[in-house]
Chains A and B, each alone.
Chain A
């Protein structure tokens, strides 16, 4: 079945970086994009950015532009999200999710249809 399996919980100190992985299975990884969404405690989802697993094109939210890097490894069907210079405001559950599919160079959007289980990142001194 189609699924995204994320890496385990992380505890980081302010100023550190975190890298979350997201391994895809059950579909052709390179024909979809992966988006990253975070959710702080008691808050709604917040979009961080999107990466094409087809050609690694990225679209980052301006809020995270200077601190986030999204990458993919097509040999292992894994996406990564690295966030630097962490503060307590970055404490949240981080989700990877599948979004948009490409066919003959055209991207089609059918909602964010498959979600990982989430990775809890806690930033505390």
Chain B
């Protein structure tokens, strides 16, 4: 099983600041199968990034993803009030598909 470890667990930032979230895999993951999701309380996850770096439909360009192999990053260039939420990375390059434990981005 591919374990995804996200860091930090919590990120305390102010609106307008830059957020950098990390996702490290226990073994190499093809970039094609690495995605990022945003989840707000009481809602289903929302796809932000797929293929490690491709924005999903309707996702603002302040969200960007990069990485390869075992190290992936999600960057939010300038935090908007609606961006404060929990973010998960996920892989489906190997079975079982797995999610990271999440990074909470909270208002400082």
- A and B interact: yes
B32 in contact (CB, < 8 A):
yes
Given contacts A44-B100, A44-B101, A47-B97, contact A111 B44 (CB under 8 A): no
Chain A residues lying within 8 Å of B37, measured Cβ to Cβ, are 45, 112
A112 to B36, CA, bound (A): 10
A115 engages B44 (CB within 8 Å) = yes
* SS of A interface (majority): strand
A46 to B100, CA, bound (A): 10
Q: How many residues of B contact A (CB 8 A)?
A: 26
Our count of residue pairs bridging A and B at CB distance below 8 angstroms stands at: 60
Given contacts A112-B90, A115-B44, contact A45 B51 (CB under 8 A): no
Which B-chain residue is minimally distant from A116 (CB atoms)?
A: B44
B7 in contact (CB, < 8 A):
no
A111 engages B47 (CB within 8 Å) = yes
Given contacts A97-B44, A112-B35, A118-B44, 5 further A-B contacts (CB under 8 A): A45-B45, A47-B96, A95-B45, A109-B33, A111-B49
